[in-house]
Amino acid sequence: MDMKQRIAELVSEMLHAAYPDAQGLPEDIASLLEVPPEKSMGDYAFPCFKLSKALRMGPPMIAKKLSEVADKPDVARVECVGGYLNFFVNRENFARDLLSAIMQAPEKWGSSEEGKGKTVCLDYSSINIAKRFHLGHLSTTVIGNALKRIYDFQGWKTVGINHLGDWGTQFGKMICAYKKWGDKEAVEQGGVDEMTRLYVRFHEEAEKDPAIEDEGRAWFKRIEDGDEEAMAIFQWFKEVTLRDAMKVYDLLGVSFDSYAGESFYVDKTDRVVNELKEKNMLIESDGALIVDLEEEKMPPCIVIKSDGTTIYATRDLAAIFYRKDTYNFDKCLYVVAYQQDLHFRQIFKVVEKMGYDWAKEGLTHVAFGMVSYEGQAMATRKGHVVYLEDLLQRSQEKALAIINEKSPNLENKEQVAKEVGVGAIIYTTLQNNRIKDIDFWWDRALNFEGETGPYVQYTHARCCSLLRKAPADLPAPDYAALTNDEAQALLLLLSRFPEAVSESCQRNEPFLITRATTEIAKAYNKFYYEHRILDEDQAGTAARIQLTQAVSQVIKTGLYLIGVSAPERM
Ligand code: ARG
C-alpha cells in the first residue's frame, strides 16, 4: 500500500495503454517520480523528459497523450502541465484503502516473508564471566535483541547466541584465590563483586610471593584438563555471574537460544586448525602459528600461540564452523563494539581464504559506537564505571517520581514506571545509527516531550484512552473525515512503516524503526491537536477512531521491535 508505488503502477499502465509497441521505456518508474515543491502542483509528479528519446516526441506531447488515457483512476487525479504529469492523490480512497489493509491484520503491519526459509544467527550481549554488566554492554544487548525481533518479524528463523567470555587464565587465578581466601557464602552473596575481590587479592599476594602465579596457572591447567573440582568451581562462578545478568536480561526483556561461549569451543578448535594446516595456510612465526594477511593489508591472524594454546580468534573461528554446521545460517551477525573491527575482519577473511564463499555475504560485524554517561566516558581502569543494573534501577525510580507527579491516580504505577524507565534507556540506545557514539543524559532520556521513549509510549497510551472512550456502536466510517493535511501526513507515514522495517533489517539498523515510530507519534499528536477525535458526526468519528486504532497498533509494533513495551495507561 505504498502510494508512490501505486502511482508508479498507474504511470506504467498509462504508458502501455498509450504506447503499446514502444521499446526502451524505463523499468523503475517509482524512482523517476518527484514530489512537487508545492501541494497545489500535486502530491507526485512524473517528468516525461526522459521518455522523449524512446518515444521520439516532445515531453508536453507525451504528457498530454498519457493524461488522455488515464480514465478516472481511483488512486489519483491526473493533470498535465508542460512536460509533467501531476498526480493529486485521491485522499479519501487512500485513507480507505490503507486503513482497510492495516485493519485486516493490524499486528502484522510491517511484517513480511522476506526471510522465509532463511536462518540468521545473532551473537549479542556476549558478556564476560566474573565481570559486572556495565554500560559498555548495553548497546550490544539492546541492538542484538532488537535485531532478533526485527528479523523474526521479516520471516527469518533466528538464533540468539550469548557467546560468553568464559575462557582464560584469569579463571585459574580466581579459583586459586577462592581456594586460599574465599568463602562460599561470600561468593553466593557478593556474586561478581566477590569474584573481583578475589582476583585483586590474587594479584596483591602474587606481588609478595610470585610462586602464587604458578598455583594460578596450575588451576587453569586443571580447568583445561577437565578436572572435577576445578570444573565444579568454574561452573559455579559461571552460574553466579549469569544469575546476576539474568536480572538485567529479564528487565530488558532479552533472551537467548544458546549460551555456548568461548569454553564451549576449546575442544572444537582442532578441526579448523587441521584444515588450515591441510590448506597450507598456517605459517610459523616466533613459535606461534599464524595466517598471513599481508595481501589484505592486515596484521596476521594468530591461531596458536607459542605456548601451544588457542586465542580468542581461534575460538571464534571454531564457533563460525560450529554455527554453520549446526544452524546452517544464511547470515551470522556479530553485534560487537567497533573496537573489535580488526578482529572480525581478520577472522572473516581467514574463512574466506579457506575457500568458503559464504563468508563474504554471510558473516557481518554489526559494529556500534561508544556510550558515555552524562558527558563522561566509561573508563573501567579509572573507576568511572556505570553498572547497568544501577542505571536501570535509577531510571525506574526517576520514572516513578514523574508518574507520581503527572498521574497520581494511575493504577499499578510501579509496573508502568518499570516499562517507562527501562524503555527510556532502550530508546536512547536505539535512537541514532549504531556507529554514532551515545551520550546518556537523564533529562533527555526521561523527557515526556521531544523524541524520547516516554513520549512515544505516552502517545500510544493516549490512543488507547481514546479507544476506551469511543462509543461501541459507531456507523461505517466516512473517510472524508481523513482528507485533511494532518490525517494525510499521518496516513503516509503509516503506509511507509513496512518499508522502514524492511530497510532496518537489511541494514541492521534498528534506529530506522525508532525513527519511523517516533514520526508516527508526532504526526498523530499533530492530528489530535487540530481535530477532535470523538465528535458529533458519528461516521467521521468512526474514521478517526479507526485511524487511532491503526496508529496505536503500529506504535506498539514499532516499540516492540526495538524492545520497548507499550503500556496502555500512563
Ligand atoms: N566477550 C566479548 C567482549 O565482551 C565479546 C564477544 C563477542 N562475540 C564474539 N563471538 N567474539 O568483548
Closest by Cα among 426, 416, 413 to 511? 426
Cβ atoms of 202 and 177 within 8 Å: the answer is yes
H or E segment at 199? helix 192-208
Q: Which ranges constitute the DSSP H helices of 296-452?
A: 312-327, 341-353, 358-362, 388-406, 413-429, 442-445
Q: Is the dihedral of CA 172, 176, 179, 182 positive or negative?
A: negative
- How far apart are alpha carbons 18 and 12 in whole angstroms? 10
Measuring from atom 5 of ligand 1, which residue has the nearest CA? 126
Contact by Cβ (8 Å): 272, 317:
yes
| Atom number, ligand 1, closest to the C-alpha of residue 128 | 1
Residue type, 539: A
The residue contributing the CA closest to ligand 1 atom 1 is: 165
- Residue 134's CB is within 10 A of a number of other CB atoms, namely 18
Cross-strand bridge partners of residue 80: 85
Ligand 1 geometric centre to CA of 136 (Å): 12
For the CA of 337, the closest atom of ligand 1 is: 12
Distance 427 CA to ligand 1 centre (A): 23
Counts of helices then strands in the chain (DSSP H, E):
22, 13
3-state helix, strand, coil in the chain (%, to 5): 60, 10, 30
Bridge partner residues of 161 (DSSP):
123, 258
Give distance in angstroms: CA of 126 to centre of ligand 1. 5
Residues pairing with 165 in the sheet: 128
Q: Indicate which atom in ligand 1 lies nearest the CA of residue 319.
A: 10
Q: Which three cell numbers stand for residue 152?
A: 523474526
- Residue that is written with C-alpha cell 596458536 in the block: 304
In the reported structure, the alpha carbon of residue 10 is separated from the centroid of ligand 1 by a whole-number distance in angstroms of 51
Q: Please tell me the residue having the least CA distance from ligand 1 atom 9.
A: 163
Which residues are known to be catalytic?
A: 131, 134, 137
Sign of the dihedral defined by the CA atoms of residues 358, 359, 360, 362, in that order: positive
Shortest-distance Cα residue to atom 4 of ligand 1: 127
| Ligand 1 atom closest to 165 (CA) | 1
Alpha carbon of 163 to ligand 1 centroid (Å): 6
Measured in Å, residue 162 CA sits from the centre of ligand 1 at 9
Pocket test for ligand 1, best of 123, 333, 336 (most atoms within 8 A of CB): 336
Q: What is the pLDDT of residue 1?
A: 59
Asked if 540 and 474 count as a contact pair (C-beta separation under 8 A), the reply is no
Q: Which atom of ligand 1 is nearest to the CA of 316?
A: 10
* Cβ(115) – ligand 1 distance below 6 Å: no
CA distance 34 to 56: 23
Of 124, 131, 163, the residue with max ligand 1 atoms within 8 A of its CB, to mutate for a pocket test, comes to 163
pLDDT at position 380 is 55
Q: Quick check: CB of 316 below 6 Å from ligand 1?
A: yes
Tens place of pLDDT per residue across the chain (570 aa) = 578 888 999 999 999 999 988 888 888 899 999 999 988 899 999 999 989 888 999 999 999 999 998 877 788 999 999 999 999 999 999 999 999 999 999 999 999 999 999 999 999 999 999 988 888 899 999 999 999 999 999 999 999 999 999 999 999 999 999 999 999 999 999 999 999 999 999 999 999 999 999 999 999 999 999 999 999 999 999 999 999 999 999 999 999 999 999 999 999 999 999 999 999 999 999 999 999 999 999 999 999 999 999 999 999 999 999 999 999 999 999 999 999 999 999 999 999 999 999 999 999 999 999 988 888 776 555 556 788 888 999 999 999 999 999 999 999 999 999 999 999 999 999 999 999 998 888 888 999 888 999 999 999 999 999 999 999 999 999 999 999 999 999 999 999 999 999 999 999 999 999 999 999 999 999 999 999 999 999 999 999 999 999 999 999 999 999 999 999 999
Whole-number pLDDT of residue 190:
93
Please report the pLDDT score of residue 50 as a whole number. Answer: 87
Q: How far is CA 498 from CA 213, 476, 512, 518, 553, in A?
A: 58, 27, 11, 15, 13
262 lines ligand 1 (CB under 6 A): no
Q: Which three cell numbers stand for residue 309?
A: 594454546
